[in-house]
Amino acid sequence: MTNTGAPTGWLEDYAADSTGDTGALLLHGFTGSPASMRPWAHFLHERGVAVRVPRIPGHGTKWQDLNKVKWQSWPERAERDLTELLSKYKKVFIFGLSMGGANTLHLAEKHSAKLRGIVLVNPMIHIPDPTIKFIEIIKYLTPKRPSVGDDIKKPGVTEWGYDALPMKGVAQLHRFLKATRANLANVSCPTLLFHSTEDHVLPVSNTEIIMSEIGAADKVRIELGNSYHVATLDYDAETIFETSYQFIRTKS
């Protein structure tokens, strides 16, 4: 996996406005890039939804940059686009993949009353690897480990992410997830969650924790049987896109 050769502009912020009253913020995952959310954004925009796909700090450049950022910069960057959407559109949603799901939840903990709903795809909320408790030491011993990206069943598809797992970045991710999980009960807006039954990056415990601990009364989980972790680019992508659009329509 590498971000070299990505389609022009797909590693950068993407924004497309609409004459309608609905907007969606789409958030990519850890070591990934906005490219993993672009097809979904295009699908929604073609149906009249304004979209924002920000490049989260430390991503879309080189893996070393993810060892230089603090986790607070991730929701801060996303919130800039959220604030803009809320100022322009009456009905606003947030969609997130993997760590982008945690970012979505982090924002929803603060802004649920302003949101019509959130959509999560294989969202991350904890790292069950027992070695994570030593990450504050590990990050000084090795700058990176092998990549966990491009977990896609469909042949020849890439999310245009990093070919390494930056350890200082993982330490920040661990802190981010703990801070977000502590406030899951504050997520009260309608929630739609897609979970791949075969995911080689995240165990199902992530989905189970979120479905159990969020405060939303309106929450639905849908199983994806023909995709791996990066389901937004996999065989079930159309199911995600169409179902999320219908979710927008029913919550608007």
Are the beta carbons of 152 and 230 closer than 8 angstroms? yes
As a whole number of angstroms, the distance between CA 95 and CA 78 comes to 11
**87 noted as active-site residue:** no
Query: Tokens 């896609």 correspond to what residue?
Result: 152
Amino acid at 112: S
- Alpha-carbon distance of 113 to 190, in angstroms, equals 10
Residue 98 is a catalytic residue: yes
Identify the residue whose tokens are 């997520």: 187
Active-site residue (options: 28, 174, 229, 234) = 229
CA distances from 29 to 116, 137, 232, 249 (A): 22, 24, 11, 25
From 81, 150, 151, 199, the catalytic residue? 199
User: Which own/partner pairs from 237-243 qualify as long-range (CB within 8 Å, at least 24 positions apart)?
Assistant: 237/39, 237/40, 240/40, 240/121, 240/194, 241/39, 241/40, 241/43, 241/44, 243/192, 243/194
Query: Which residues are catalytically annotated?
Result: 98, 199, 229
